[in-house]
Chain A
Amino acid sequence: MTWVRRHRWALAALVVLIPAALAAAMSIAWFRYVGAEAQHPVVVRSGDPGTYATDRPGSDAQELSGLTATLTLTGYNVVPWNTETGREVGLLEGTEAVSALIHVDATGLPEDVFSCQALLIAPGPEGDRVWETASGEIDYYPSGDLHGYCDLSEGTAFDWEAVFVVPEGVGDDARLIISDGSLNPRYQLQLEH
């Protein structure tokens, strides 16, 4: 009787137990990874209202609390650097400004909810490039009835102008994403333009 034949039951047990032990050890990391993975954005066509699910700080990371706002993209304009407006706001050569007008209905939301943030995303050589709203890049800031940021905690409806500065040619094809601004947002809304 060969050695393998004599130990067949022990070897068979190893064949089963080793993969089982590996699976058990790696499953914790796997579930943690899946839980932390960014969710695919909910895509809303231009002009249609989109539901943005927000939350309170400290709430359960796996559950959305049902606190929602309605966001509607009402305008999306690209201003190249070599236009009168581009020069007025001080755009550098080779850049363009993007103005996204968003009507936000946050009626009834409590004061302690997360606010939202707008991002422009376009593909690049190292994966997606992400632009945050402009901060000092140009001499322009929304004024009058327009809000310069998305403050859901006001609990009212308002018009928000999110302004970006991006390299020339990026604005028309970039994706406009609303999220809480974290690395792995649990909820993302894409407003098509």
Chain B
Amino acid sequence: MSARGIVVAAACVAAAFGLTLAAPGDEVIQAPFVRTIPALDQQTATREITVTVTDARLADRVQTPEWTGATNGVWLVVDLEFTRRISRGGLSGAFRIGDTHYRLSERADLATLDNGASGQPDLPWAGSVLVELPLSALEDPGATHAVISFAGTSGPLGGGDLDGVLEYTLDLTSLDHEPSITIAEPARVPPAQVVG
């Protein structure tokens, strides 16, 4: 083989190697499209859902008409409005402080928006979601920029991580801390302006 042939072959191998390195992995391919909810009362949309966070508070106890939620820690209560945009489905959520991830509480059963609401396009729901936290979480250095995230369920792609995710950053240390909060059950509310 001539010297030129060897150079061409080496270039082809190098190019193939470069292409392999440049190809995105599964983690990147399946990463959600994250959009940030900039502030309270600002409606923000993914392809599947819109979310408006209307309030966020801490409480030692949460109550619904049928349930009292005592805890050794503290409740994070986030009030919001959510709307499906394409098809019927619900809302899912997650919460994190730094690298520590928390699930939304299911203790209140259908009284929370992520468990008790199934929306249809442009017909919004209002309600609350709950996170039960240890008291030590409030002392975590990441507590000043904790993140609650929302995604749709049952969408065309199955919802969740394969579609858009909305994130809202909270400073837990600056939230009102109340002895008890009564949350309303999820309810349909009149349609608002649709976010494009």
Binding site for B on A (CB under 8 A): 3, 92-95, 124-132, 135, 137, 165-168, 170, 183
Whether A128 contacts B190 by the Cβ 8 Å rule is no
**Interface membership of B40, Cβ < 8 A:** no
Whether B190 contacts A129 by the Cβ 8 Å rule is no
Choose one: A94, A125, A132; the contact of B190 (CB below 8 Å).
A94
**Interface membership of B135, Cβ < 8 A:** no
Whether A130 contacts B2 by the Cβ 8 Å rule is no
For chain B, residues 105 to 150, give those with C-beta under 8 angstroms from any C-beta of chain A: 118, 120-123
A132 contact set on B, CB distance < 8 A: 88, 120
Whether A126 contacts B47 by the Cβ 8 Å rule is yes
Residue of B nearest to A128 (CB): B86
A92 to B188, CA, bound (A): 8
Given contacts A93-B190, A132-B88, contact A3 B123 (CB under 8 A): no
Interface string of B172-196 (1 = CB under 8 A from A): 0000000000000000111100101
Whether A3 contacts B122 by the Cβ 8 Å rule is no
B193 to nearest A CB, angstroms? 10
Whether A167 contacts B191 by the Cβ 8 Å rule is yes
B191 contact set on A, CB distance < 8 A: 92, 94-95, 167-168
A146 to nearest B CB, angstroms? 22
**Interface membership of B54, Cβ < 8 A:** no
For chain B, residues 60 to 76, give those with C-beta under 8 angstroms from any C-beta of chain A: none
Whether B121 contacts A95 by the Cβ 8 Å rule is no
A62 to B86, CA, bound (A): 28
Given contacts A125-B194, A167-B191, contact A95 B123 (CB under 8 A): yes
Whether B190 contacts A124 by the Cβ 8 Å rule is no
Given contacts A94-B190, A126-B86, A128-B86, contact A165 B120 (CB under 8 A): yes
Interface string of B139-165 (1 = CB under 8 A from A): 000000000000000001000000000
In the complex, 27 of the A-B residue pairs with CB atoms within 8 angstroms, ordered by the A residue number, are A3-B8, A92-B123, A92-B188, A92-B189, A94-B191, A95-B123, A95-B190, A124-B121, A125-B85, A125-B194, A125-B196, A126-B85, A128-B86, A129-B86, A129-B87, A129-B121, A131-B88, A131-B120, A132-B120, A137-B123, A165-B123, A166-B120, A167-B121, A167-B191, A168-B191, A170-B122, A183-B156
